[in-house]
C-alpha cells in the first residue's frame, strides 16, 4: 500500500510539472497530462498503482458526464437557435461521412473501426473552446453564443453515440431489431426510475439545507450508484452518470451541486488523461503518421469549411462563420472517451486509439492558435471568404444609403437596440448595420431601415453619404474595427461619433483619431452602481471629525 501511495504521489507531481510546462508554453494542459502518462508507463509502475489509476479514470469520465447532465438546461437547448442546431447537426453528419470515407476507403480500416474514427472526428472540445473564448472575452459575442450552442448539440449527439455503441457491443448478429427494441425499453425504464428516485433525492437535498458535506455525499452516491446500476443492465457507466445528472438539472440546488462536483471532476479527468497516455503506443503513432496527419488536416481545415458553408447558406456574415468555424478545428475529450470505450469493449484495436490520440494532440495544439488569433486570420483571408456569403443578403445598402439618415447605428444587440428604440420613439431617421441576419430581419419587420454587414468590411460604408449623417454610434467592441470607422468618418466637428473601447489607452487613441465620445462599458456600469448606492444612502459621506486642539 505504501508503494502504491508513493507511486500515485509521484504520478501527480509529474503531471503537475508537465501541466505547468504546457501552460508556460501556452499549450493545452491536456497535452502535459498525456505526456505524463507516457512517462509513467516507461519509468514508474506496479499493478496496484495501475488498478488505482484505472478506477480514478472511470470516476473522471463519470463525473464529467454527470456534470454535463446537471448543467444541461432544457430551456437553453431550445433557445440556442436555428444556427446552433443546423451547424451542430449538419457539421456532425458531414464530418462523420467524410471521416468514414477517409477511414474505410483511403486507409482501409475495418467497418467498425471506420465508424469509430468517423464519430471521433465530429466532436469538438467544450473545455478548450469555452476556456479560449473566455480568455478572449468572446463568449457573449454572436459567434461565441453560436459556438456554445453548437457544443451543446454536439454533446447531446456524443452521449447518444455512447449509448448506441455500448448497447450494440453485445449484439451477436442475431435479431438486431429485437435487440434494439429491448435496448429502447430498458433505456426508457431506466429513465423513469431515474426521474422518480431523482425527485426523492431532490427533496432530500432541499431538506439538508446548509449541510455541505451531506449534499456532497448524497450527490456523489446517487451519481455512482445509478451509473453502476445502468452498467449492470447492459448500458455504460457514462450513460448512467449522464442520466443521473439530467434528473438533477432542474433542482434549485443545481448550481451548488455543480460548484461542489467540479473540483472532483477536474481532478479525476486529469487521471483519465494520464491513463490515456499510459496506454499509448509511441510506435503505433509513428507507424500511423500518414493517417494521423491526413485526418488532422481534415479536422483543422475541413471542419471550418463545413461550418462556413452551412452558416453562409443561412445568411451569416463570413466573419461570424469563419470565427465559429475555427472553434471546431480540434477533436474533443469525448472523442478519446468514445474510442477508449471501443477498445475496452474489444470492438476496435488499440492502434485506432493511437491514431485518434495523435489527431487530438495535433489539432489541440494548432486550433488553440487558430482561435486565439482568429481576428488576425480573418483580416488576412477576408477577401477569399466572400465566396461563403449569400449574395442575396448583400442587398438594401443602396436603398438604405439613399434614405435621409440622422443616426447610423452599427451593432443593434443590447446597447445598440436601446438606441434604435429611442430613435424610433422620437421619430428620428435611423439606419442600422448589423452582422446578424436574424437581427436585420427583425428590425425590418418593425419598419426600421436595417442593412446586413460587418464593420470589419472596408467596403461597408462606401455607399453611405457618411458626411451627412448627424450621429454615428458604434457598439462594436473590436478596437481595430472602430479605428477603421474613424478613418471613414474623418474629423467632421459637426458630426457626433460615439464608439466603445476596452481600456483607457484604447479610449485615448480613439479620441485622438476623431471620436467625439468613447464609452468603456465596465466603467459606465461602475459609475451607475456608485450613483445608485449614493441615492440609496449606502455611500452617504460621514462628517469628518474635528481635530482636538
DSSP-derived secondary structure for 266-320: HHHHHHHHHHHHHT--HHHHHHTHHHHHHHHHIIIIIHHHHHHHHHHHTT--HHH
Weakest mean pLDDT among 95-99, 100-104, 354-358: 354-358
pLDDT: is 385 or 144 the higher one?
Answer: 385
**In CATH, 394-535 is 3.40.50.10490:** no
For residue 398, name the pLDDT band (cuts at 50, 70, 90).
Answer: very low
Q: Which CATH entry fits the domain spanning 2-168+175-384: 1.20.1530.20, 3.40.1800.10, 3.90.1150.10, 1.10.3720.10?
A: 1.20.1530.20
For residue 245, name the pLDDT band (cuts at 50, 70, 90).
Answer: confident
**Residues contacting 308, CB < 8 A, separation 6+:** 318, 321, 322, 325, 385, 388
Q: State in Å, rounded, how far the first CA of the chain is from the last one.
A: 74
Nearest to 320 by CA among 388, 391, 373, 369: 388
Q: What mean pLDDT is predicted for residues 401-428?
A: 78
**Model pLDDT, residue 290:** 93
**Model pLDDT, residue 177:** 63
Distance CA 409, CA 415 (A): 10
For residue 97, name the pLDDT band (cuts at 50, 70, 90).
Answer: very high
pLDDT: is 256 or 295 the higher one?
Answer: 295
Q: In this model, does residue 80 exceed pLDDT 70?
A: no
User: Residue 409 phi/psi, 5° resolution?
Assistant: -110, 125
Weakest mean pLDDT among 57-61, 90-94, 314-318, 397-401: 397-401
Domain limits, the chain? 2-168+175-384, 394-535
Q: What mean pLDDT is predicted for residues 356-382?
A: 85
**Model pLDDT, residue 105:** 92
Report the chain's mean pLDDT, rounded to a whole number.
Answer: 80
Q: In this model, does residue 274 exceed pLDDT 80?
A: yes
Weakest mean pLDDT among 168-182, 326-340, 469-483: 168-182
Q: What mean pLDDT is predicted for residues 156-175?
A: 63
Q: In this model, does residue 63 exceed pLDDT 90?
A: no
Share of the chain above pLDDT 90, in %: 10
Q: In this model, does residue 397 exceed pLDDT 80?
A: no
Q: Which residue has 481595430 as its cell numbers?
A: 480
Q: In this model, does residue 330 exceed pLDDT 60?
A: yes
Q: How far is CA 490 from CA 261, 265, 320, 454, 496, in A?
A: 55, 54, 27, 19, 11
pLDDT: is 263 or 186 the higher one?
Answer: 263
pLDDT: is 290 or 157 the higher one?
Answer: 290
Top mean pLDDT of 13-22, 190-199, 258-267 is at 13-22
pLDDT: is 545 or 257 the higher one?
Answer: 257
pLDDT: is 3 or 221 the higher one?
Answer: 221
Q: What mean pLDDT is predicted for residues 39-47?
A: 75
pLDDT: is 175 or 357 the higher one?
Answer: 357
**Model pLDDT, residue 72:** 67
**Model pLDDT, residue 103:** 92
Q: What mean pLDDT is predicted for residues 325-352?
A: 85
Rounded to two decimals, the pTM is: 0.68
- Tell how strand 517-519 and strand 496-500 pair up: parallel
For residue 502, name the pLDDT band (cuts at 50, 70, 90).
Answer: confident
Helix (H, G, I), strand (E, B) or coil at 501: coil
For residue 94, name the pLDDT band (cuts at 50, 70, 90).
Answer: very high
Distance CA 468, CA 486 (A): 15
**Model pLDDT, residue 298:** 95
Share of the chain above pLDDT 70, in %: 84
Q: What is the DSSP string of 409-421?
A: EE--STHHHHHHH
Q: What mean pLDDT is predicted for residues 461-490?
A: 79
Taking only the tens place, the pLDDT of each residue in 198-213 is 888 888 887 776 677 8
Burial of 189 (0-12, 13-18, 19+ CB in 10 A): exposed
For residue 171, name the pLDDT band (cuts at 50, 70, 90).
Answer: very low
Amino acid at each position: 500500500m505504501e508503494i502504491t501511495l508513493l507511486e500515485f504521489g509521484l504520478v501527480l507531481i509529474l503531471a503537475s510539472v508537465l501541466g505547468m510546462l504546457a501552460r508556460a508554453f501556452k499549450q493545452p494542459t491536456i497535452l502535459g497530462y498525456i505526456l505524463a502518462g507516457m512517462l509513467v508507463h516507461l519509468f514508474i509502475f506496479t499493478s496496484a498503482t495501475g488498478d488505482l489509476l484505472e478506477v480514478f479514470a472511470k470516476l473522471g469520465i463519470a463525473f464529467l458526464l454527470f456534470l454535463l447532465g446537471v448543467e444541461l438546461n432544457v430551456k437553453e437547448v431550445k433557445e440556442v437557435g436555428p444556427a446552433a442546431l443546423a451547424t451542430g447537426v449538419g457539421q456532425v453528419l458531414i464530418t462523420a461521412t467524410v471521416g468514414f470515407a477517409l477511414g474505410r476507403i483511403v486507409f482501409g480500416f475495418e467497418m467498425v473501426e471506420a465508424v469509430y474514427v468517423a464519430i471521433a472526428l465530429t466532436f469538438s472540445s467544450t473545455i478548450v473552446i469555452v476556456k479560449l473564448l473566455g480568455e478572449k472575452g468572446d463568449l457573449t459575442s454572436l459567434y461565441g453564443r453560436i459556438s456554445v450552442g453548437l457544443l451543446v448539440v454536439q454533446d447531446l449527439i456524443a452521449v447518444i453515440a455512447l449509448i448506441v455503441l455500448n448497447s450494440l457491443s453485445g449484439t451477436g448478429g442475431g435479431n438486431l431489431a429485437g435487440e434494439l427494441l429491448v435496448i429502447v425499453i430498458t433505456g426508457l425504464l431506466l429513465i423513469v426510475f431515474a426521474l422518480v428516485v431523482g425527485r426523492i433525492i431532490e427533496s432530500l437535498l432541499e431538506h439538508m439545507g446548509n449541510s455541505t458535506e451531506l449534499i456532497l455525499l448524497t450527490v456523489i452516491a446517487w451519481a455512482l450508484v445509478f451509473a453502476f446500476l445502468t452498467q449492470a443492465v447492459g448500458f455504460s457507466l457514462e450513460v448512467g452518470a449522464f442520466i443521473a445528472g439530467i434528473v438533477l438539472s432542474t433542482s434549485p440546488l443545481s448550481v451548488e451541486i455543480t460548484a461542489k462536483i467540479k473540483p472532483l471532476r477536474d481532478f479525476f479527468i486529469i487521471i483519465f488523461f494520464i491513463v490515456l497516455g499510459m496506454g499509448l503506443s509511441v510506435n503505433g503513432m509513428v507507424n500511423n503518421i500518414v493517417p494521423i496527419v491526413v485526418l488532422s488536416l481534415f479536422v483543422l481545415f475541413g471542419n471550418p469549411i463545413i461550418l462556413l458553408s452551412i452558416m453562409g447558406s443561412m445568411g451569416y456574415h463570413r466573419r461570424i462563420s469563419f470565427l465559429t468555424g475555427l472553434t471546431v478545428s480540434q477533436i474533443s475529450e469525448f472523442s478519446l472517451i468514445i474510442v477508449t470505450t471501443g477498445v475496452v469493449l474489444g470492438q476496435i484495436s488499440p492502434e485506432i486509439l493511437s491514431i485518434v490520440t495523435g489527431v487530438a494532440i495535433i489539432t489541440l495544439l494548432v486550433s488553440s492558435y487558430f482561435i486565439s488569433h482568429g481576428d488576425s486570420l480573418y483580416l488576412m483571408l477576408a477577401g477569399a471568404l466572400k465566396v461563403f456569403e449569400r449574395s442575396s443578403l448583400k442587398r438594401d445598402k443602396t436603398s438604405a444609403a439613399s434614405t435621409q439618415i440622422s443616426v447610423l447605428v452599427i451593432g443593434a444587440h443590447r446597447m445598440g437596440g436601446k438606441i434604435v428604440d429611442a430613435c424610433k420613439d422620437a421619430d428620428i431617421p435611423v439606419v442600422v448595420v448589423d452582422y446578424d441576419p436574424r437581427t436585420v430581419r427583425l428590425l425590418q419587420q418593425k419598419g426600421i431601415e436595417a442593412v446586413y454587414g460587418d464593420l470589419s468590411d472596408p467596403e461597408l460604408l462606401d455607399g453611405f453619404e457618411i458626411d451627412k449623417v448627424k450621429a454615428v454610434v458604434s457598439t462594436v467592441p473590436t478596437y481595430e474595427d472602430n479605428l477603421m470607422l474613424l478613418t471613414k468618418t474623418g474629423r467632421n466637428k459637426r458630426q457626433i461619433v460615439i464608439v466603445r473601447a476596452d481600456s483607457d489607452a484604447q479610449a485615448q487613441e480613439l479620441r485622438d483619431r476623431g471620436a467625439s465620445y468613447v464609452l468603456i462599458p465596465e466603467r459606465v456600469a461602475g459609475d451607475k452602481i456608485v450613483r445608485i448606492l449614493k441615492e440609496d444612502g449606502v455611500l452617504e459621506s460621514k462628517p469628518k471629525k474635528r481635530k482636538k486642539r
